Amino acid sequence: MQEEHPYTEPKGNATIDGRWVLTHVIWHPTLPYGGHGNCPETGVRDMTDVDAATGRPRFDLIQHGWYDFAKAEAVITKGLRKGWSPFRISEAMDRINRKKG
């Protein structure tokens, strides 16, 4: 059955070092909302970086394209522990994908 609206398919979550909350999903952008297919991605919330105006932790999205979420989580966790931004982690994951190709 094809969905009419974009939706996410939950693939798990994890809390890393009591600081970061990772949420793994497959994003399904359906027509006419940006296309078809799917995109594996991980949301990253830094629970120590709370926006004063909203009271919510900062949220970043890593659109990595990895269906093996355990491996994606390992790379993301390693990068976070090194102090890397989600953008830098995303760039590293892209380089890993290019090397495999």
DSSP string, 25-46: EEEE--TTTT-SS-EEEEEEEE
Distance, in Å, from the CA atom of 30 to the CA atom of 9, rounded to the nearest integer, reads 13
CA distance 43 to 60: 6
Domain, as residue range, for 36: 7-100
Residues in the chain: 101
40-56 pLDDT tens trace = 999 999 999 999 999 99
Report residues of the chain scoring pLDDT below 70: 1-3, 31-36, 101
In a domain, 2, yes or no: no
Q: Count of domains in the chain? A: 1
Is residue 46 within 8 A of residue 22, CB to CB? The reply is: no
Within a domain: residue 24? yes
- Residue 15 burial (CB count, 10 A): 11
pTM of the model: 0.87
